[in-house]
Structure 1
Amino acid sequence: MKTTRFALSAALLASTTLVPVAALAQDADEDVIEVRFQYIPDDRRVTSEVAASLSIDDLATTGDSDLASALVRVTGLSTVGGRFVVVRGLNERYSNTLLNGSPMPSPEPFRRAAPLDILPTNVLSNVLVQKTFSPEFPGEFGGGVIGIETASLPDDRFFSVSIGASGDTVTTGNHGLTYGGSDTDWMGYDDGLRDMPDELAAVFDTTRVGNNLPAAQQQAIGRSLVNSELWVVQQIDTDANGSISIEAGERFDFDNFSLGLLVAGSFSNEWETREGQRGKGAIGAGDELIYENGPPSEDRSGLAPVGEGINNFFGTENEINASGLISVGVDFYNDHSISFLSMALRSTSKEARIEEQFNAGSSAVVRGDYTEWFERQVLFNQLRGEHLFESLGGLALDWRLSDATATRDAPYQRFVNYQYEDVPQTYRYEGDINDNFTRFSEIEDSTQDGGFDLTLPVSLGDFDAELKAGYSNTSRERDAYTRQFAFEQGSDGIPADLLFSRIDYIFAEQNIVDERLRLVETGGLTFPEAYNGRLFVEGYYAGVDVGLTDFVRAAVGVRFEQGTQKVDTFAFPANTADSGQVETRIEEDYVLPALTLTWTFADNLQLRTGYSQSIARPQFRELAFAEFFNTDTDQRFQGNPFLVNTEIESYDARLEYYFGRDQFVTVGAFYKVLENPIEEYIIPIGDGLNTSFINAPEATLTGAEFEFEKSFDFSDRWDGAFFNDREWFIKTNYTYIQSEVTADGTVTIAQGAFGSPSAIELNAAGFVQDGRALQGQSEHLFNLQVGFETFDGRARGALLYNFTGERSRAVANLSDNLPEISEQLPASLDFVYSRTLELGGNDWDFGFSVRNILGEDYEATQSAGGVELPVDTYDIGTSLSLSVSRTW
């Protein structure tokens, strides 16, 4: 579509509030011509909002292979687990991800936010990060919105292939862990080995597995579960990582009509080993912080002192990613376009891990072996159009219809527990029902979205203005369940000499008889196992963008949003009496105003200010009165059905000075007030780390941002090709954030037995340390890029540095005297280089990168009384990658 609008559609623009497009102001008396917009780039001029964007060139410079890695280079952004984006210190629940203007679903059980590590950068054309609310976006807008634009239709025919290989000093070629699995695991697909066995499937929806079943049927179900291929942890030497991507496009031009086709696909197989220490802290008798459960001593004779002991956690994950995209589009009469996009993103994780710890409850050293398989998949289909009607005064209409489904299937999550015996100095399977489990869990998250945006340029007296209005309707539904089973001992039990055998020998078919072992269902005894969550949001907005003077423009708008969120938690199998069902319903209507002012008060110098109101809703799993197990941290958490929405007021200001082409310095400040922010806190249940959720009374967030980008031409200072044929650049940004949570008020927690939660209102001072920072908020964020690009674009290189300050992973539980868990993400120093070489008369693109040059590691700790207790640490290592690509 050949228009002058910016490449991102209006649905993704920070705002359609246009700064004055006239670049000249003339004094009638003195005939002085004043230039105000010489260097202000289009993407900064067409929006009054505080925003940043990543282009294809930016992605090429940093060399990041997935979107989550690329976004940490943006001012004020960080990630959780390298997958979920945190904007301005507000964790991922306060961010929204839009794909071509439509919401992107999440296949993750613990997040509504989409994991951006599964989105490869080769299918993107631009990414917008907007930090100030404007009414064309959904009302759930806390930290910001991430607007992802997929690759547009090609200008000409092309075909491109790229292959890559990488490895790191911790994982590649070193000892790792795995398990047998199926023959096609390396492709990210199971060949049917992990399918639910027919014997279990026959009763799965109607009956709990236990001694209520006929003995023969119960034992047949137990014997039908896959044994050695999915139980036994094996040691291997891990392979290097590999990837391949293919892109192709074609365009057909006719009179007043163009047809385009774009196809892209990628596949990668990667390994990561983590080795470190894990433990759980508690306040001892002398008010000192000690390990309650933690790393054993080297001889496994007991609990090691703080800072000593063995690395008691060792795990290897094999992640296989595959993606495919097809886009078909039509441009006609220069002012109209319609396109259809179908995209599939798939990420499969196969993990084996071992964790040893001294367990205070049993006063023994125990070892847990885990084998897991997770299939995550997103299917996204969208039809959208862009239309400009010159005959209607320049009316622009953008519309979209999308249907997306995200799934996560985790069959055969397995655990077995052993206890260390001094004689014969080896581990022994204890045989208790709590010493093993087999889990089946599944999530399906479906989202349907439709909407349109209208803009119309008008003249209001002496003022030029743009009217805008729009509508959206979003429906989201999530179904999730977890079923857990375990083998318990029968009347005779397991023979004593067999307890020292390999686990597949213990759970062999001949031992699954009523006298020795029988399968029973152990999940759902204290909490329901399943939930259904639904969210319906209907929104309308209207606004005006008006030029008050030649250099001052205001954008005023309001969004009307009706939202209903409902979560039903229920036991398996569900029955007509709804036994154990817990229903949560939040139904709220909102009027959300937004105001921005842009004043270009001097040459290439402009000031933006803004005010807005927005909300954040609890996530489904936070509302579900069920217990979940987070495999990333090996901790349990439970939902709170009494949570309410968070309401947010935001104030923003940013001063921007553009002193050359793509050269600028900006300074900004922001302030937010959050009423009822949702926080995760520690609860003392069992031997591991457990958490739940509360609405803190109130929080404030204050911050400042700084950006600087400048290019240098050294050809007039030093002679030589190394300086004469290239432009050098420096890009840096820094964000300072300070937040405070108040304890002045009450919090509501959920307590009670299965299916019967009670709302307990307590003094917030028992859960919130007055004045502490928000969970997940880092005080300091810093990025630096120093590099070059040759004038012909055939070579570029950069040294990249990223720092994210310490932040809270889980807040303290003051009533139980449990300190918070703080995490320090590794600061990363990277070097990337790419070059195009002519070989055999053809151009070949080569890429090289070194990541985490300093070898920084991850560490999460608890601190009290001058003692810092590591609760989760592991090495990351330095990685090296190579790639080669060719385009025809």
Structure 2
Amino acid sequence: MIPAASATAVTEKLIGRITDANGEPVANARISVAGRDLSALTGADGRYALLLGDGSHDVTVRADGFEEQIFRGVSVVKSAGATLDVRLLPSSKRAHAETAGAGDAQHELGAISVEGQAIKDGSDTAVVLDRRYSPQVVDILGAEQISRAGDSDVGAALKRVTGLSLVDGKHVYVRGLGERYSSVVLNGAQIPSPDPTRRVVPLDLFPTSVLSSIAVQKSYSADMPGEFAGGTVGLNSRGAPNDFQLNVALTGKYLDGTTGDQGLRYRGGGKDWLGDGLDARKFPDGITPFPTDPAAREKVSEQVAARGYRTYKSEIDPGAVFGFGVGDSFDVGGWSLGYLGALRYSHEWATRKEQRRSYSLALGQLEQRSDFERSRTERMIDQSALVSLGAKRGRQHDVGITFMKIRQASDETRIDEGWDTQATDRDHNYRLRWIENALTVKQVHGDHKFDALSNLEVDWLYSHSGVTRDEPNTRSYKYEQAHDGSFAFARGSNNNDQLFAYLGDTMIEKRIDAKLPLRLSDDFTATLQTGLDRVSRGRGSYIRKFQFRGSRPADAPPDIWNVLTPEYIRPGGLLLQEVTQATDAYRAWQKLDAGYFATELNWADRYRLHIGVRREDNLQRVETYQLFAPNPTPIIGEINQVNWLPTAAFTWAYAEGAQLRLSFSKTVSRPDFREMSRAQFIDPELDIATRGNPDLKQTGIRNLDLRWEYYFSDTESFSVALFDKRFDNPIERVNQAGTGALLELKNAADARNRGIEIDYTGSLAQLRRWSWIDKGAIGRLPLEQLYAGFNYARIESQVDLGANAGIQTSTRRALQGQSPYVANLQLGYRSEDGKLESTLLFNVFGRRISQAGEHGVPDIYEEPFRQVDLVTSWVFSERWKMKIQARNLLDPDVNYTQGGLTTLRYRRGREFSLGMEWAW
């Protein structure tokens, strides 16, 4: 930092106030003057005073935990006084200030005032500083970056990060590694998964509006969960603002091919538009347990049939998003109290037609075995609420409460029309499906600093989170083609299904961390860090399936809604029958106790070494059982293991703005609950029979990272990274010979993942520094208002299935879902007054394996997809802001191929939106 001004006044006293980047007072900061045996300490209010003679002085400000600052040429004239106010940034984070003109300085009787810029959470500056001074390799998306890209959920936002790709619209692959090798934390706490068969948190569940930043930590540290390979996605919720804020936002959306066109519908419930469809689809009375009495079965059958099966078409309305937020902070008795409340509601539609084909191998050639056209309309209702309460007392104490509730509902009407080799004629397959996910998070946290104990810092966290997944009364049924070409409700034994599924998962985490900074000499500091973490988790899940079975007259009407009526539902006719498997229910729990110790050594702010070790004692158990059995004998899977996980990271800041990082760690990946049980189950996502394996071993992982970084300024940087990961006993899904279509979980022999990442973000004014650029050609361009961002990752992976290859076509192949390259480009303009901003965005990923081939049939690949978006925002008055977005402008085909032949093809459609926001 440098003085903003100096002037003559009427005293010879230098006074001022020392604060941190948030404006909180810094106690016990020492202010000294070069060449003078003279210094002063700040009090609890951060104020100081020094008696100085006239002349020019070099003033130094030091405080434990903060960057030392020197101010040269502070001028004090005889009978004059001066004011020097300083804002400090944490140690190893260089403080920055602007040299203010006379109009910007704060003058009191000619006094000088020196202040750094306040750094707002989620701003471009905060993001670059956090990335630069983190001891680990980390990439961060701040609120400003997310706003420029216009991404509404975390999954969409993360595809802009170097080396990350989005699979199925909700699962993020970090450096080509899937959900098994990545984890998600909210405010530092782990959260449960709504997926019944995988340990994965779908990131489209989280709206970006409730977050201040998203951090992807790509190298491991001992204070993080030990299940790590690709990276840990850290979501940080918004906190209370410093001043009163009130904002209301409304956005309308148009999706090409959906809005204003005819879409598929069915009769649901009266509260579906609120995302609450459970009451209209819940279990009918008397179905639990399923009755054996014919009269009772008839009554239950009629209740289920009355839910309705008729589909129809109607015009689809535009999508709509509503947001509201309010927050403030105020001082009470030395404490700063704050609150934030935010609500969001989104209601959107998507209709598309998909071409779906499958193939088998015949005489060495691929032969088509099915061809269907899928018509589907999906209705998506998302709701979220965030409440954040905080209390701060200077820099010493910061406690807070966070409550977050997210509910996401999906309502799908789907018809598949086509043929397969098992049918003599064409089929129409219908599915009416409602899925409701809900996440509730309650957290209490505290951060404390004790100046009297050598600036000891103690942080603690209690987190209680629960997730539910409800799939009530999914109805599937089939129509077959008659000889006259008409279609009627099929008469086969598997012509209909009624499915009810539920999952509940609760996780409680308690953790405490302590950090002690030590100044061993003027150039050598150390920070000792330790912590304890306990995670307790419980889960219960079941699937119940029913079918209407029996006989009906030959002259029965063709439509299912005219067949499933009281006329035909009776003993001797059609009755509901439960076909739930004995392994469709399980309960599980986990207890994980962890402790770690780490230290960071800093030599002259040039060399930093961070070393640590974490110990995890993990016990997890799953019991698969038969629902309603009088004396069930559960199938048990269990893991009880202790792991020691070392990590080391070295940073060499060898030049101004440039540094080199090197890190190494050992981590693990453990089987999920259902993967440990030999019980067979139907994977609801893949719709394939799957069986776990109690003999599974955990995967051992060795991680090596090297990254070079250069920072042009607070908001501009360039980096190149190399990484290499080795896996022992990776877990893969394979199809064993002699098991039909049954997938089994097996340990492969080994796997490897390595790659390079390149990242740049900054102003195009950098072009003026490059000597080979024609200065005349660019001299008239407003380069200071133009910015660019670019990142590219090239990734290679290989898994060796070894003896566990089963009937897989390839015993060695790339990891499933891993793209060989991922690239992002952003070009933007920001007006000088900051009121108008426009960004053009491009994203592309390389060809990746979607499904491994079997019996000599090639693997199925998802072909490259290129997306172009344009986002423009305009603050056109003091209170009003408008945002216009155009997404997927190229609208290319989404294409999956097998041996060069299409297995799935569709278009997402172009989306246009107009939003208005009013803010106080």
Q: 1:483-524 CA distances to partner (integer Å, 9 max, x unpaired)?
A: 0000111xxx21222252x21111012211112101111121
- Structure 2 counterpart of 1:523, which letter? T
Q: Is the 8 A contact 2:765 2:783 kept in 1?
A: no
2:856 partner letter: N
1:122 Cα deviation (Å)? 1.2
Q: Is the 1:155–1:251 Cα contact (8 Å) retained in structure 2?
A: yes
Gaps of 5+ in 1: 8-17, 25-34, 296-311, 748-763
Mapped to 2, the partners of 1:281 and 1:612 lie a distance apart of: 43
Question: Would you say 1:497 and 2:537 are equivalent positions?
Answer: no
Equivalent residue, structure 1, for 2:880: 844
Partner of 1:318: 379
Structure-2 residue corresponding to 1:882 = 914
Q: Deviations over 1:711-761 (max 9, x none)?
A: 0349998999996596111100000100111244x33xxxxxxxxxxxxxx
Q: 2-side partners of 1:5 and 1:645: how far apart?
A: 44
1:276-675 pair list within 5 angstroms: 276-284=354-362, 286-295=363-372, 312-423=373-484, 425-460=485-520, 463-489=524-550, 493-500=551-558, 502-524=559-581, 528-548=583-603, 550-578=605-633, 581-626=634-679, 635=688, 637-675=690-728
Please state if 1:811 is matched with 2:852.
yes
Match 2:863 to one of 824, 831, 845: 824
**Correspondence 1:193 to 2:280:** yes
The 2-side partners of 1:429 and 1:854 are apart by 41
For the 8 Å contact 1:735–1:782, the answer to whether it is kept is: yes
SS of 2:813's partner is coil
2:41 is matched with: none
Q: 2:819 aligns with which of 778, 782, 799?
A: 778
CA distance in 2, matches of 1:586, 1:534: 11
Following TM superposition, by how much is the alpha carbon of 1:199 offset from its aligned partner in structure 2, in angstroms?
A: 1.8
Residue of structure 2 equivalent to 1:15: none
Is the 1:20–1:550 Cα contact (8 Å) retained in structure 2? no
Q: Report the equivalent of 2:346.
A: 268
Does the C-alpha gap of structure 1 residues 251 and 127 become closer, same or farther in structure 2, counting only changes over 3 Å?
same
User: C-alpha displacement at 1:806, in angstroms?
Assistant: 1.5
Give structure 2 stretches of 5+ with no counterpart. 1-17, 25-63, 71-91, 97-124, 769-774
Q: Is the 8 A contact 2:277 2:434 kept in 1?
A: no
Contact conserved, 1:106 with 1:378, CA < 8 A, in 2? no
Following superposition, the deviation at residue 361 of structure 1 comes to 2.2
Amino acid of the structure 2 residue aligned with 1:883: G
1:853 correspondence with 2:885: no
Q: 2:789 aligns with which of 731, 752, 768?
A: 731
The residue that corresponds to 1:769 in the other structure is: 810
Which residue is equivalent to 2:169?
82
Alpha-carbon distance in 2 for matches of 1:560, 1:221: 53
Q: How much has 1:338 moved relative to structure 2?
A: 0.7
Task: Report the CA distance shift for 1:316/1:686 in structure 2 as closer, same or farther (over 3 A).
Answer: farther
**C-alpha separation in 2, matches of 1:857 and 1:175:** 21
Greater CA drift, 452-461 or 847-856: 452-461
Q: How far apart in 2 are the matches of 1:420 and 1:641?
A: 45
CA contact (8 A) 1:338 1:384 kept: yes
Are the equivalent residues in 2 in contact too, given 1:658–1:665 (CA < 8 A)?
yes
> SS in structure 2 opposite 1:279?
strand
CA shift at 1:629, angstroms?
A: 5.1
TM-score, normalised to structure 1's length? 0.86
Bigger mean CA offset, 126-135 vs 254-263: 254-263
**Post-superposition offset of 1:437:** 0.9
Helix, strand or coil for the counterpart of 1:576? coil
Q: Which residue of 2 aligns with 1:13?
A: none
What residue identity is the alignment partner of 1:573? F
Work out the CA distance in 2 between the residues paired with 1:851 and 1:722.
31
1:525-553 per-residue CA deviation (whole Å, 9 max, x = no partner) reads xx511111222211100011002455111
- Residue type of the partner of 1:467? L
The Cα of 1:230 is off from its aligned counterpart by: 3.6
Contact 2:65 2:517 in 1 (8 A): no
Change (3 A) 1:488 1:421: same
Which AA in structure 2 matches 1:125?
S
Listed as ranges, the matches of 1:89-238 within 5 Å are 89-190=176-277, 192-201=279-288, 203=289, 208=290, 213-227=292-306, 229-238=307-316
Distance 1:820 1:582 in 2: 33
Residues 314 and 633 (structure 1), Cα distance of their counterparts in 2 relative to 1, 3 Å cut: farther
CA RMSD for the aligned pairs? 2.9
Following superposition, the deviation at residue 421 of structure 1 comes to 1.9
> Secondary structure of 2:822's match?
strand
Aligned residues: 807
Superposed CA offset, 1:449-469 (max 9, x none): 010111111144673110000
- CA 224–825 in structure 1, closer or farther in 2 if over 3 Å, else same: farther
- Which secondary structure state, in structure 1, belongs to the residue aligned with residue 475 of structure 2? strand
Output the CA distance in 1 between the equivalents of 2:534 and 2:193: 18
Find the aligned partners of 2:380 and 2:680 in 1 and give their Cα distance. Answer: 26
Classify 1:715/1:584 alpha carbon distance in 2 versus 1 (closer, same or farther; 3 Å): closer
Answer with 1 or 2: which has the greater Rg: 2
SS of the counterpart of 2:287?
helix
CA contact (8 A) 1:22 1:550 kept: no
Are 2:763 and 2:784, in contact at CA under 8 Å, matched by a contact in 1? no
Offset from partner CA, 1:115-145 (integer Å, 9 cap, x none): 1112111111111110000000000111100
What is the match of residue 758 of structure 1? Answer: none
Give the residue type in structure 1 aligned to 2:852: V
Structure-2 separation of matches of 1:604 and 1:659: 7
Aligned to 1:760: none
272 and 594 in structure 1: CA distance in 2 versus 1, 3 angstrom threshold: same
The within-5 A match list for 1:699-778 is 699-713=751-765, 727-744=785-802, 746-747=803-804, 764=805, 766-767=807-808, 769-778=810-819
The 2-side partners of 1:626 and 1:174 are apart by 45
- Opposite residue 489 of structure 2, the aligned amino acid is Y
Structure 2 counterpart SS, 1:511: coil
Change (3 A) 1:615 1:5: farther
Distance in 1 (CA, whole Å) between partners of 2:261 and 2:690 is 34
Distance across 2 between alignment mates of 1:356 and 1:632 = 21
What is the alpha-carbon distance in structure 1 between the residues aligned to residue 602 and residue 319 of structure 2? 54
Query: Contact 2:635/2:679 (CA < 8 Å) preserved in 1?
Result: no
The structural deviation recorded for 1:251 is 1.6
